[in-house]
């Protein structure tokens, strides 16, 4: 998980810099390119956001605007699609950002391997309102994304990355104010780190790894019972779990080509079904895992 360790250090670095990298040179001017004014009739927001490249920051904003997007790029330097629609009290926002020099799939692999991309020249900052519940659907191509969900009301969360590195966190330790139905994350070639995932208050967690790597931090007992379904193709999935005060059950569907690591504290109670010492089938905040591994690796680690 060397890539995940690197990604965590980069997350701390970028969090410290804040808008510094957005400003860039002294001649650059940060502009608000997209926004939607606050309206009391909006009771929920569905945000469909996609970017083909660059660095994206998503975090709570100080205003009550459902979305505000800043960049130091001119509007004619990128292709974009931005629209909104309303369904009763729900606001749906669609925002797609694409570099005019969009990389092909083979070029994205080459830039991933040989580090030829210059995503620092393509930076976006997306602010969301704390007052409104969101369904977030995020897609990233290449580059990096840093998502701070602190204090945000998120009912559903979906993120998919091609070869981008994505880091998700609750930086101010403020959990989700509402119970989340589903937390869904998918990685193809990139690296994903989800820290403090237990703060999402998600009832269902879905994780899918293709050729990349993913780390899920579930080191604290969840606020509500959480069911985790994970599948690993040829990549690596590392799951950090509580050492104490949490009932955990793991069901594994594996193959001869995969590698599964469990801590010694787990006991096999039936074929490929494992439980920890705290296991209680009636536990109100139980962590349950259904894992399918083809050719890759899955690692369960306890909190130190």
Give every strand in the sheet of 297-302, ordered side by side: 31-36, 67-71, 123-128, 55-60, 144-148, 165-169, 191-194, 213-217, 236-241, 297-302, 259-261
pLDDT at 226: 94
pLDDT 10s digits, 106-121: 555 555 554 444 445 5
pLDDT at 195: 97
Total-model pTM: 0.86
Average pLDDT, the chain: 86
Separation CA 197–CA 38 (nearest Å): 29
Give the residues of the chain that fall short of pLDDT 50: 6, 8, 12-27, 104-105, 114-119
pLDDT at 121: 59
The two three-digit tokens of residue 51, written as one number: 């970017």
pLDDT at 42: 95
pLDDT at 106: 52
Single out the residue of 94, 153, 142, 136 nearest to residue 116, CA to CA.
Answer: 142
Single out the residue of 184, 195, 91 nearest to residue 148, CA to CA.
Answer: 195
pLDDT at 260: 87
pLDDT at 173: 95
Percent of the chain exceeding pLDDT 70 equals 83
pLDDT at 280: 93
CB contact set of 115 (below 8 Å; sequence gap of 6+)? none
pLDDT at 116: 45
């Amino acid at each position: 998980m060397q890539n995940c360790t690197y990604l965590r250090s980069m997350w701390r670095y970028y969090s410290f810099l804040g808008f510094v990298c957005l400003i860039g040179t002294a001649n650059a001017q940060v502009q608000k390119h997209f926004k939607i004014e606050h309206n009391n009739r909006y009771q929920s927001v569905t945000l469909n956001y996609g970017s083909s490249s660059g660095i994206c920051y998503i975090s709570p904003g100080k205003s009550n605007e459902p979305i505000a997007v800043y960049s130091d790029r001119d509007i004619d330097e990128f292709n974009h699609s931005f629209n909104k629609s309303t369904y009763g009290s729900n606001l749906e926002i669609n925002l797609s950002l694409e570099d005019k020099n969009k990389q092909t799939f083979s070029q994205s692999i080459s830039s991933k391997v040989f580090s030829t991309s210059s995503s620092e020249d393509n930076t976006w900052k997306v602010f969301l309102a704390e007052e409104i519940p969101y369904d977030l659907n995020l897609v990233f191509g290449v580059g990096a994304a840093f998502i701070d969900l602190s204090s945000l009301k998120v009912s559903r969360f979906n993120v998919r990355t091609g070869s981008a590195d994505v880091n998700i966190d609750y930086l101010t330790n403020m959990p989700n104010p509402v119970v989340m139905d589903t937390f869904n994350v998918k990685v193809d070639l990139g690296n994903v780190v989800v820290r403090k995932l237990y703060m999402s208050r998600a009832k269902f967690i879905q994780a899918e790894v293709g050729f990349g790597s993913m780390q899920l931090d579930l080191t604290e007992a969840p606020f509500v019972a959480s069911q985790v379904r994970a599948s690993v193709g040829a990549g690596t999935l590392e799951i950090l779990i509580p050492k104490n005060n949490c009932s955990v059950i793991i069901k594994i569907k594996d193959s001869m080509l995969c590698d599964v690591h469990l801590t010694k504290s787990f006991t096999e109670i039936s074929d490929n079904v494992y439980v920890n010492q705290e296991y209680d089938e009636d536990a109100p905040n139980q962590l349950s895992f259904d894992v399918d591994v083809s050719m890759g690796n899955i690692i369960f680690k306890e909190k130190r």
